[in-house]
Amino acid sequence: MSKSVARQALSAAEIEQFGAEIDALRERTLADIGEADARYIRRIHATVRYTELAGRGLLFFGIFPPAWVLGTLLLALSKILENMELGHNVMHGQYDWMNDPRFDGKTYEWDIVGTSDSWRKTHNFKHHTYTNVKGMDDDIGYGLLRLFPEQRWRPFFLGQPLYAVVFALLFQWGVAIQDLRLGAYFAGRISRDELGEQFRPIGRKMRRQLLKDYVFFPLVAGPFFLPVLLGNLVANGLRNLWTFMIIFCGHFTAKVAVFPKSVLKDESRGQWYLRQLLGSSNLRGGRVFHILSGNLSHQIEHHLFPDIPARRYAALSKEIQAICQRYGLHYNTGSLWVQFGQVVWRILRYALPSKPASLEGRSLVSD
């Protein structure tokens, strides 16, 4: 008998039924998508633009501390909204049905140093398809942190509380190089030239971003070069911290599960849904909080329906909770502080050696 990762063991037939209920919910939601969603994303886009203008405008008067603080916060707000509710969700193709080139998932380019193309590959494809499958989903610890006992401990991880802080502060850079095969390079499996080739588009994007925030706008400010530069630096840093926090709360809280590669074999749609549910965790909060998190506070719904406009997740989450209750499945949610506390605990706990846990034989189905 194999060990089930679901708290409540479900049979194959039950999982299919569970999947069918989620499919029905999906169909109902899709049928309702239209003008209101289009208006919403246009409004988000406008808010990004207005807050950016206001933030950058105030920073030109950054010699006065209140203007500097407010300008920096507005610019950070603009970047957070752009990265999360706009960029992340648009790149999932959530608004492709509008046929609007501004919101086209395949061509959208977001305001961080990472390229959208590499994100579409590491995140949209690998992370969303192989969510929490060890060895397939690079987001598990980002190759830098040990967050689950199932990852083998090495002395390197003793320093991870420190790496985590640095990683959080520089999160956009981590995202940018995630797809670079640095490991393969250091192991001598790819040449310097091959690595350079891979780096070229990333380098171009990095240069563009650096020029924009740290050369162009400070220069435009003339004598106020320094306050503008600092404001941009802090705004980028705040955005980094915020996105790190939200994203880590999505998959690394106490009760999320990781899976062995064997679950992928002949995985049905129902099982895929179940894996998304068990591998994700939500955050409770108000409307503004959800928008600022790009609705990734509804990580479970985002993983079940990555292509449905994120503003729908709040309503969907009520229905998903009801479904989970019917099947006796745990719905992982909590406040930001509780969930983030668990993330911090994982970072600290698994820096230290622990009894190795094996994924061997774990499956989603019990029978």
- Residues in contact with other proteins by the rule CB under 8 A: 23, 26-27, 30-31, 34-39, 45-46, 49, 91-93, 96-102, 104-106, 120-121, 124-126, 128-129, 216, 269, 272, 306-307
Q: Quick one: 15 or 145, whose CB is closer to other proteins?
A: 15
Q: Quick one: 300 or 347, whose CB is closer to other proteins?
A: 300
CB of residue 187 vs other proteins: minimum separation in angstroms? Answer: 25
- The beta strands (E) that lie in 63-206 are given as none
CB of residue 74 vs other proteins: minimum separation in angstroms? Answer: 16
Residue 258 makes CB contacts below 8 A (sequence gap 6+) with 132, 133, 134, 140, 148, 150, 279, 359
Residues facing 333 on adjacent strands: 282
Tokens of 48: 């990004």
* Cβ atoms of residues 270 and 18 within 8 Å: yes
* Cβ atoms of residues 151 and 134 within 8 Å: yes
CB of residue 251 vs other proteins: minimum separation in angstroms? Answer: 16
CB of residue 260 vs other proteins: minimum separation in angstroms? Answer: 19
Q: Any idea what the Cα angle at residue 134 is, between residues 128 and 136, rounded to 5°?
A: 50
Q: Quick one: 25 or 249, whose CB is closer to other proteins?
A: 25
CB of residue 282 vs other proteins: minimum separation in angstroms? Answer: 19
Q: Quick one: 124 or 295, whose CB is closer to other proteins?
A: 124
User: Distance between CA 259 and CA 8 in Å, rounded?
Assistant: 16
Q: Quick one: 128 or 181, whose CB is closer to other proteins?
A: 128
Tokens of 110: 């977001």
User: Distance between CA 172 and CA 232 in Å, rounded?
Assistant: 14
